[in-house]
């Protein structure tokens, strides 16, 4: 998954495009490029690195002309090289394209194009689009018919923007996002509204299987058969514009720090949906939860909450495992899909599988305009504002709050959950960041960290290990307390650190025992608990609160520890290597 952007208007296109690309870097950031058209000629610059780096090296924003396209890449086909960066020109240089997604039949298309005399400069699947467009354009001499023919030949998941040397832009959407922004005498095409939000909040979400034509005079939307579609303009929330770091050094730190506030917003704009979802839950035959990465870890917490507080049995399934878990979904059941972006390909596929079995879908997501939102029967918004840091932080705690609100709605004599208390706990822990910073320095050279928890704290242990991996590149593993003696104990020696998640609830004594067993093998222990103990080499104190507050309180110090350890290791916490925020390919 990558970001694509196009601009046609009355200003210099390149600086506008570079600005948009900076904002969409969360989608992929291994290379970047821009192409513009001026005087019926296409100029192109691209290279390996983040937008800032490549722009200062090549001055992408100096390219001439008021029409252009741009791209940030997350490599799927072909290594991270200058040649594989987008845009890709066609052989004649008269067309250039940027692409997000995967062209499944690119090998076959490439072979056919080679037979016709076309050559290829990159290892990407994307370059075939440029040459296929050229071939079809030379035969048909018309952009509309060229697009209809080209999309009929492509297989896979894609959105792409093509720029022709006469300054026409054409873009197609097939299972990857594509949005038009409409400004005064200017149009934007983009993977995300963040690409143009400073310029306009009037947008059109292009439907799957449609394409767009933009020239100096007009903008047209058509389906893949060439029938014109009436555009539906919607306004996006200005809140999206809040994508600055402010005084924070990194988005990740900003997003960790915002959590004492963002938890209040979870589910707020979609209050009725909490009620609706609890009705679905009461009546469902079987209940499944799904998600990827951090969202899957939240779904594991959801499973515990439903059984403990609402006496409802459910099953949590990793989204990417759904296609391989045959017969796991009973027909006419309920699937709760969790996703910050609402665009993760694995989650969308899981939803698709469940819908084929006639299941109802509840979506817990941040982006209310995402594909998942449109695919679901009931949508609950996290409302935590844009999360730019690739490692999920505030979206995780917002997901937990929504799950709390659902079980509160389900409980017979309305459980009292003190959200103010949760917020105060977060603030209290955030004030401890100097202590956590020091600890980060201690762990920076460690090669293995284990995180142990029991019951509802086991998913938190898994999520904590994920945060450590993503941000510090240190090998980390979540362990279910009782499983220690069934294997992991063999790994314990003086070279490892173990984080023990040990709040004073029903798991406390057993987990303390596990800590002692580990300590006896020489490993260093970091205890996260409201109670001190001599077994901890380092104690991170969390406030003593209601048991439901603990999972959130435990999460915050590990987010901070991972962030500060990333700084110690001189890695970029906002953009971990090889990862991307929203994985829209399988």
Active site residues: 2, 581
Interface with ligand G6P by CB under 6 A: which range of 68-76, 103-111, 333-341, 540-548?
Answer: 333-341
The residues in 123-152 that bind ligand G6P, with binding defined as CB under 6 A, are none
Q: How far is the CB of 222 from ligand G6P (least distance, A)?
A: 30
Shortest CA distance to 584 belongs to which of 366, 389, 300, 339?
339
* The one segment of 251-259, 262-270, 288-296, 550-558 that binds ligand G6P by CB under 6 A: 288-296
Q: Which stretch binds ligand G6P (CB under 6 A): 183-191, 208-216, 386-394, 415-423?
A: 386-394
Question: Which of 281, 350, 361, 392 is close enough to bind ligand G6P by CB under 6 A?
Answer: 392
Shortest CB 542 distance to ligand G6P, Å: 23
Could you give the angle at the alpha carbon of 288 between the alpha carbons of 282 and 293, nearest 5°?
135
Which member of 260, 292, 333, 559 binds ligand G6P (CB under 6 A)? Answer: 292
Residue of 55, 294, 369, 562 that binds ligand G6P (CB under 6 A): 294
For ligand G6P, which is the closer residue by CB, 347 or 403? 347
What would the two tokens of residue 73 be? Answer: 């890449």
Q: Which segments of 184-260 are extended strands (E)?
A: 186-190, 202-205, 210-214, 219-223, 228-229, 234-235
Q: Which of 390, 440, 496, 526 binds ligand G6P (CB under 6 A)?
A: 390
Q: Any contact of residue 391 with ligand G6P (CB under 6 A)?
A: yes
Which of 8, 124, 168, 341 is close enough to bind ligand G6P by CB under 6 A?
341
Looking at 168, 339, 408, 584, which residue binds ligand G6P (CB under 6 A)? 339
Note whether 191 binds ligand G6P by CB under 6 A: no
- Minimal distance, residue 242 CB to ligand G6P, in Å: 18
Query: Which is closer to ligand G6P, CB of 344 or CB of 408?
Result: 344
Q: Which residue is nearest to ligand G6P (CB)?
A: 293
Judged by CB under 6 A, which of 507, 581, 584, 585 binds ligand G6P? 581
Give the nearest distance from C-beta 403 to ligand G6P in angstroms.
14
295 to 314, contacts with ligand G6P by CB under 6 A? 295
Examine residue 469 and tell whether it contacts ligand G6P (CB under 6 A).
no
Q: How far is CA 22 from the centre of its chain?
A: 16
CB atoms within 10 A of CB 121: 12
Question: CA 484, 486, 487, 489 torsion: positive or negative?
Answer: positive
- DSSP-derived secondary structure for 95-113: EEEEEEEEETTHHHHHHHH
Site string for ligand G6P, 516-545 (x = CB under 6 A): ------------------------------
d(CA 404, CA 419): 10
Contact criterion met (CB below 8 Å) for 126 and 160: yes
What distance separates the 2 farthest-apart alpha carbons in the chain? 79
Selected binder of ligand G6P within 422, 439, 583, 585 (CB under 6 A): 583
Piece in contact with ligand G6P (CB under 6 A), picked from 35-43, 348-356, 472-480, 577-585: 577-585
Q: 495: Cβ–Cβ under 8 A, 6 or more apart, which residues?
A: 446, 447, 448
Measured at the CA of 408, the angle between CA 405 and CA 409, to 5 degrees, comes to 90
Measured in degrees and rounded to the nearest 5, phi and psi for residue 180 equal: -100, 135
Distance CA 531, CA 460 (A): 18
- 3-state DSSP call for residue 49? coil
Residue ranges of E strands in 277-323: 287-291, 315-318
CB atoms within 10 A of CB 586: 13
d(CA 526, CA 535): 9
Count of residues that bind ligand G6P according to CB under 6 A? 16
CB of 394 to ligand G6P, least distance (A): 12
DSSP H or E stretch at residue 538: strand 538-541
Point out which span in 65-73, 137-145, 335-343, 451-459 binds ligand G6P (CB under 6 A). Answer: 335-343
Tell the smallest beta-carbon distance from residue 392 to ligand G6P (Å): 4
Which range touches ligand G6P (CB under 6 A), out of 32-40, 217-225, 281-289, 385-393?
385-393
| Residue of 86, 172, 97, 93 whose CA lies nearest to 130 | 97
Binding residues vs ligand G6P (CB under 6 A): 292-295, 339-341, 344, 347, 390-392, 579, 581-583
């Amino acid at each position: 998954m990558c970001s694509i952007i196009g601009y046609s208007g009355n200003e210099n296109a390149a600086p506008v495009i570079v600005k948009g690309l900076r904002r969409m870097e969360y989608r992929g950031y291994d290379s970047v490029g821009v192409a513009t058209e001026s005087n019926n000629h296409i100029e192109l610059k691209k290279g390996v690195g983040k937008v800032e780096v490549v722009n200062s090296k090549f001055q992408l924003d100096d390219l001439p002309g008021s029409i252009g396209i741009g791209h940030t890449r997350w490599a799927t086909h072909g290594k991270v090289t200058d040649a594989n960066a987008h845009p890709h020109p066609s052989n004649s240089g008269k067309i250039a394209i940027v692409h997000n997604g995967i062209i499944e039949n690119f090998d076959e298309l490439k072979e056919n194009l080679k037979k016709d005399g076309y050559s290829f400069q990159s290892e990407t699947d994307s370059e075939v689009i440029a040459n296929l467009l050229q071939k079809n354009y030379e035969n048909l001499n018309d952009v509309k018919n060229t697009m209809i023919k080209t999309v009929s030949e492509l297989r896979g998941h894609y959105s792409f923007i093509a720029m022709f040397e006469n300054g026409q832009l054409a873009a197609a959407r097939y299972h990857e996002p594509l949005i038009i922004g409409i400004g005064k005498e200017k149009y934007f095409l983009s993977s995300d509204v963040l690409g143009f939000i400073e310029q306009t909040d009037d947008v059109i979400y292009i439907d799957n299987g449609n394409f767009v034509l933009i020239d100096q005079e007009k903008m047209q939307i058509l389906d893949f058969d060439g029938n014109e579609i009436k555009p539906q303009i919607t306004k996006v929330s200005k809140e999206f514009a809040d994508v600055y770091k402010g005084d924070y050094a990194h988005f990740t730190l900003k997003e960790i720090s915002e959590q004492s506030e963002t938890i209040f917003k979870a589910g707020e704009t979609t209050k009725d949906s909490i009620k609706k979802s609890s009705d679905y839950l009461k009546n469902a035959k079987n209940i499944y939860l799904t998600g990827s990465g951090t969202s899957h870890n939240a779904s594991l917490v959801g499973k515990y909450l439903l059984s403990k507080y609402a006496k409802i049995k459910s099953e949590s399934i990793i989204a990417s495992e759904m296609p391989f878990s045959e017969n796991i979904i009973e027909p006419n059941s309920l699937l709760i899909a969790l996703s910050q972006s609402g665009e993760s390909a694995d989650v969308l596929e899981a939803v698709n599988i469940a819908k084929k079995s006639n299941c109802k879908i509840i979506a817990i997501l941040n982006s209310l305009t995402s594909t998942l939102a449109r695919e679901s029967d009931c949508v609950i918004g996290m409302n935590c504002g844009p999360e730019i840091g690739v490692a999920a932080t505030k979206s995780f705690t917002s997901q937990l709050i929504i799950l709390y609100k659902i079980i509160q709605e389900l409980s017979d004599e309305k459980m009292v959950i003190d959200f103010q208390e949760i917020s105060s706990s977060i603030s209290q822990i955030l004030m401890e960041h100097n202590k956590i910073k020091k600890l980060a320095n201690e762990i920076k050279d460690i090669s293995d960290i284990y995180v142990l928890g029991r019951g509802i704290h086991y998913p938190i242990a898994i999520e904590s290990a994920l945060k450590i991996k993503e941000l510090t590149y240190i090998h980390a593993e979540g362990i279910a307390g009782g499983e220690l003696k069934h294997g992991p104990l063999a790994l314990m020696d003086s070279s490892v650190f173990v984080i023990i998640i040990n709040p004073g609830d029903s798991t406390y004594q057993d987990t303390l025992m596990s800590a002692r067993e580990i300590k006896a093998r020489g490993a260093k222990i970091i205890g996260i608990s409201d109670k001190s103990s001599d077994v901890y080499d380092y104690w991170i104190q969390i406030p003593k609160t209601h048991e439901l507050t603990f999972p959130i309180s435990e999460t915050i110090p590990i987010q901070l520890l991972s962030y500060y350890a990333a700084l110690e290791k001189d890695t970029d916490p906002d953009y971990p290597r090889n990862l991307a925020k929203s994985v829209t390919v399988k």
